[in-house]
Structure 1
Amino acid sequence: MEIIYKDEKDFTKENIIELFLSVDWQLSASNPDKLYTALINSPTVFTAWENNKLVGLARALDDGILTAYIHYVLVNPKYQGKGIASNLVKMIKNKYKDYVYN
């Protein structure tokens, strides 16, 4: 299994809904248009892929200069325990390493 990590928002609504449903986040997945728009408009979204399957996602929100926080980290249960969440969090921490509160 080769996992590819991306910082591009090249996912589809279908990718997102499949991932959110895999972790039983039905409420978030119940409005695909709003969820997709929220992710596209987020300053930071890192994703993990196996081939064309979205298997993990981490989202961070920030004020652009001082504070950043991780809003959520999701990994499809079939892929958990493989370090995917850790790698996504490391990517976020690296991006915000110069922020005072991260």
Structure 2
Amino acid sequence: MEITYKFDVTPTSEQVIELYKNCGLPRPVDDPDRIKRIYQGSNLIVTAWHNHELAGVARCITDGAWSCYLADLAVTTTLKKSGIGKKLIELTQQHLGDEVMILLLSVPDAMEYYPKVGFKTVDNAFMMARKK
């Protein structure tokens, strides 16, 4: 199976929505304009492609010097457990370099995944939930 990874391609809202629906990532998939704005506001996007179809994405917001928020990590259901998610994280780390911390909020179903790929659980995080 050949997977191509790219930094220079932002997927369309339609491609993202199809991926998120497929893998069950809870995002506003009924609002293409909001998905478009989400991606426009992201400054590091790593994509995985299989047969010209979006197979995975790591979407980040970073200052490039101190911290990076890995906002979305999604892999199409048929290709889960194939190493795509881990590779997207590795490419993100390589792009950012050794000075930048990566942090994320996990969906409940992925809580066991992230420690397996190098993340550690932290107790010093806070959030203000969105209202919409």
Under a length normalisation based on structure 1, what TM-score does the superposition of the two structures give? 0.87
Counterpart of 2:17 in structure 1: which amino acid?
I
Moved more, 91-100 or 14-23: 91-100
Write the distance in 1 (CA, Å) between the matches of 2:9 and 2:58: 11
Write the distance in 2 (CA, Å) between the matches of 1:70 and 1:93: 11
Q: What is the number of equivalent residue pairs in this alignment?
A: 102
With over 3 angstroms needed to count, the CA separation of the structure-2 counterparts of 1:40 and 1:51, relative to structure 1, is: farther
CA-atom RMSD in angstroms? 1.7
> 1:4 maps to what in 2?
4
Counterpart of 2:87 in structure 1: which amino acid?
N
Bigger Cα Rg: 2
The DSSP-based 3-state class of the residue aligned with 1:56 is strand
With over 3 angstroms needed to count, the CA separation of the structure-2 counterparts of 1:77 and 1:70, relative to structure 1, is: same
Q: Deviations over 1:18-76 (max 9, x none)?
A: 00100123542121111122113311010001122101000121134221121121001
Under a length normalisation based on structure 2, what TM-score does the superposition of the two structures give? 0.69
> 1:52 maps to what in 2?
52
Write the distance in 2 (CA, Å) between the matches of 1:14 and 1:90: 26
Q: Deviations over 1:75-100 (max 9, x none)?
A: 01101111000100001111112424
The gaps in structure 1 that reach 5 residues or longer are none
> 1:82 maps to what in 2?
82
Does structure 2 conserve the Cα–Cα contact (< 8 Å) formed by 1:20 and 1:28?
no
Does structure 2 conserve the Cα–Cα contact (< 8 Å) formed by 1:68 and 1:99?
no
Q: Which runs of 4+ in 1 moved over 4 A?
A: none
The gaps in structure 2 that reach 5 residues or longer are 103-132
Does structure 1 conserve the Cα–Cα contact (< 8 Å) formed by 2:64 and 2:100?
no
The DSSP-based 3-state class of the residue aligned with 1:30 is coil
Does structure 1 conserve the Cα–Cα contact (< 8 Å) formed by 2:10 and 2:45?
no
